Structure 1
Amino acid sequence: MFFSDEYKDGVFYGDQNFSIPYHMNYGAFVLEKFLKYKDKVALINGDTNEQITFGDLAQKIVNTTTFLTQLGVQTEDVVAVCSENRIEFLIAACAVFCVGATVTFLNISYGENEMNHAVNISKPKYIFLSGSASDSHYENLKKHNMIRKYIFFDNPPAKQQNVISFRDLADENIDLKSFKPVHFQGRIMTCMILYSSGTTGPAKGAKLSNLNYIIASQQPQPTERDLTMLTIAPWCSTMGIVTTLQGLIFGKKIVYQSRFNERAYLRAIEKYKVGYAIVAPPVLVILCKSKVANEYDLSSLEVVTSGGATTNIEVLNELKARYPSIKCVIQGYGMTEATGAVTNDFEKSFKEGSVGKPVPGIIAKIVDPDSGKVLGCREPGEVCIKGPVLFEGYIGMDLDKDLYPGGFYRTGDIGYYDEDGYFYIVDRIKELIKYNAWQVSPTEIEAILLKHKDVKDAGVTGTPDQLAGELPTALIVRQQNSQITEKDVIEFVDTKVAPWKKLRGGVIFVDEIPKNPSGKILRRKLKELISESRTRKVTSKL
Structure 2
Amino acid sequence: MLPAAKGAQGIFYRKHNFSFPAHMNYGIYFIERILNFKEKRALVNGATGEELTFGQIVREVLSVAASLVGLGIRKGDLVAVVSENRSEVLTTIIAAMCAGASVTLINSAYTAGELLHTTNITNPKYMFLSPTAYKKHHETLKKLTFVSKFCLFGDSSSKEIISYNDLANKEADFTNFCDYYGRVEVALVLYSSGTTGLPKGAKVTHANLIAVSQQHDFCPDKSALTLSPLCNTFGLIITLKTLVNGKMVILLSRFKEKQFLETIQKYKVQSLMAAPPLVVLMSKSSLVDNFDLRSVEIIYSGGAPLDESVIKELEKRLPNLRVLQGYGSTETTGPITEETVADRRQGSIGKAVQGIVIKVVDIESRNVLGPGEPGEVCVNGVILFDGYIGKPKSEYFDDDGFYRTGDIAYYDQDGYFFIIGRLKELIKYKAWQVSPAEIEGVLLKHPAVKDAGVIGAPDPLAGELPTAFVVKQPGAEVTENDIIEFVSLEVSPWKRLRGGVRFVSEIPKTGSGKILRRVLRDMLKAKSKI
Q: TM tier, shorter chain?
A: 0.7 to 0.9
Equivalent position to 1:319, from 314, 321, 324: 314
Map Cα deviations across residues 442-473 of structure 1 (whole Å, 9 max, x no partner).
xxxxxxxxxxxxxxxxxxx9995745553789
Equivalent position to 1:341, from 307, 313, 335: 335
Question: In 1, are the aligned partners of 2:76 and 2:184 still within 8 Å (CA)?
Answer: no
Q: Higher mean Cα deviation, 136-145 or 86-95?
A: 136-145
Alignment of 1:98-247 (within 5 A): 98-159=98-159, 161=160, 163-174=161-172, 179-180=177-178, 182-183=180-181, 189-197=185-193, 201-224=197-220, 226-247=221-242
Q: Give the Cα separation in 1 of the matches to 2:426 and 2:35.
A: 41
Match of 2:264 in 1: 269
Match of 2:375 in 1: 381
Map Cα deviations across residues 213-262 of structure 1 (whole Å, 9 max, x no partner).
111111111122x1111111000111111010011011111111001111
Q: Higher mean Cα deviation, 271-280 or 341-350?
A: 341-350
Structure 1 residues 368 and 503: CA distance shift in structure 2, 3 A: closer
Map Cα deviations across residues 101-122 of structure 1 (whole Å, 9 max, x no partner).
1101111111110011111001
Secondary structure at the residue paired with 2:146? Answer: coil
Secondary structure at the residue paired with 2:127? Answer: strand
Question: In 2, are the aligned partners of 1:474 and 1:508 still within 8 Å (CA)?
Answer: no
Q: Give the Cα separation in 1 of the matches to 2:452 and 2:331.
A: 22
Offset, 1:418: 1.4
Offset, 1:198: 5.2
Structure 1 residues 268 and 175: CA distance shift in structure 2, 3 A: farther
Secondary structure at the residue paired with 1:419? Answer: coil
Question: In 1, are the aligned partners of 2:10 and 2:368 still within 8 Å (CA)?
Answer: yes
Map Cα deviations across residues 317-363 of structure 1 (whole Å, 9 max, x no partner).
1111111121x211000000001111112223233421111111111
Root-mean-square deviation over aligned CA pairs: 2.8
Q: Give the Cα separation in 2 of the matches to 1:474 and 1:154.
A: 48
Map Cα deviations across residues 166-216 of structure 1 (whole Å, 9 max, x no partner).
1111013446676427455xx661101111145774111111111111111
Match of 2:423 in 1: 429
Secondary structure at the residue paired with 2:264? Answer: helix
Equivalent position to 1:470, from 439, 453, 464: 453
Question: In 1, are the aligned partners of 2:193 and 2:510 still within 8 Å (CA)?
Answer: no
Structure 1 residues 498 and 330: CA distance shift in structure 2, 3 A: closer
Match of 2:249 in 1: 254
Question: In 2, are the aligned partners of 1:474 and 1:503 still within 8 Å (CA)?
Answer: no
Q: Give the Cα separation in 2 of the matches to 1:140 and 1:4.
A: 48
Question: In 1, are the aligned partners of 2:360 and 2:376 still within 8 Å (CA)?
Answer: yes
User: Does structure 1 residue 310 correspond to structure 2 residue 305?
Assistant: yes
Secondary structure at the residue paired with 1:404? Answer: coil
Match of 1:479 in 2: none
Question: In 1, are the aligned partners of 2:283 and 2:313 still within 8 Å (CA)?
Answer: yes
Q: Higher mean Cα deviation, 137-146 or 204-213?
A: 137-146
AA at the equivalent of 2:387: G
Q: Give the Cα separation in 2 of the matches to 1:349 and 1:119.
A: 42
Question: In 1, are the aligned partners of 2:6 and 2:415 still within 8 Å (CA)?
Answer: no
User: Does structure 1 residue 19 correspond to structure 2 residue 13?
Assistant: no
Secondary structure at the residue paired with 2:309? Answer: helix
Q: How many residues align?
A: 459
Q: Give the Cα separation in 2 of the matches to 1:123 and 1:278.
A: 31
Question: In 1, are the aligned partners of 2:85 and 2:251 still within 8 Å (CA)?
Answer: yes
Q: Give the Cα separation in 2 of the matches to 1:263 and 1:337.
A: 34
Map Cα deviations across residues 243-288 of structure 1 (whole Å, 9 max, x no partner).
1001101111111100111111111110000111110111111111
Offset, 1:34: 1.1
Q: Give the Cα separation in 2 of the matches to 1:469 and 1:62.
A: 46
Q: Give the Cα separation in 1 of the matches to 2:175 and 2:43.
A: 23
Match of 1:453 in 2: none
Map Cα deviations across residues 426-449 of structure 1 (whole Å, 9 max, x no partner).
11103399xxxxxxxxxxxxxxxx
Structure 2: unaligned runs, 5 residues or longer: 428-435, 445-449, 460-505
Question: In 1, are the aligned partners of 2:4 and 2:14 still within 8 Å (CA)?
Answer: no
Secondary structure at the residue paired with 1:92? Answer: helix
Q: Give the Cα separation in 2 of the matches to 1:132 and 1:28.
A: 30
Structure 1 residues 247 and 510: CA distance shift in structure 2, 3 A: closer
Structure 1 residues 25 and 110: CA distance shift in structure 2, 3 A: same
User: Does structure 1 residue 413 correspond to structure 2 residue 407?
Assistant: yes
Q: Give the Cα separation in 2 of the matches to 1:220 and 1:182.
A: 32
Offset, 1:5: 4.4
AA at the equivalent of 1:303: I
Offset, 1:139: 2.3
Structure 1 residues 90 and 380: CA distance shift in structure 2, 3 A: same
Question: In 1, are the aligned partners of 2:42 and 2:54 still within 8 Å (CA)?
Answer: yes
Secondary structure at the residue paired with 2:237? Answer: helix
Q: Give the Cα separation in 1 of the matches to 2:119 and 2:132.
A: 18
| Identity among equivalent pairs (%) | 41
Question: In 2, are the aligned partners of 1:27 and 1:97 still within 8 Å (CA)?
Answer: yes
Match of 2:482 in 1: none
Secondary structure at the residue paired with 1:300? Answer: coil
AA at the equivalent of 2:411: Y
Calculate the TM-score normalised by the size of structure 2: 0.81
Match of 1:397 in 2: 391
Match of 2:66 in 1: 66
Structure 1 residues 406 and 137: CA distance shift in structure 2, 3 A: same
Question: In 1, are the aligned partners of 2:4 and 2:12 still within 8 Å (CA)?
Answer: no
Map Cα deviations across residues 61-100 of structure 1 (whole Å, 9 max, x no partner).
0000000111111111110001111111111111111111
AA at the equivalent of 1:415: A
Q: Give the Cα separation in 2 of the matches to 1:200 and 1:269.
A: 34
Match of 1:292 in 2: 287
AA at the equivalent of 1:343: T
Structure 1 residues 88 and 471: CA distance shift in structure 2, 3 A: farther
Map Cα deviations across residues 359-397 of structure 1 (whole Å, 9 max, x no partner).
111110111011111111111111110111111111111
Structure 1: unaligned runs, 5 residues or longer: 434-460, 477-493, 513-532, 534-542
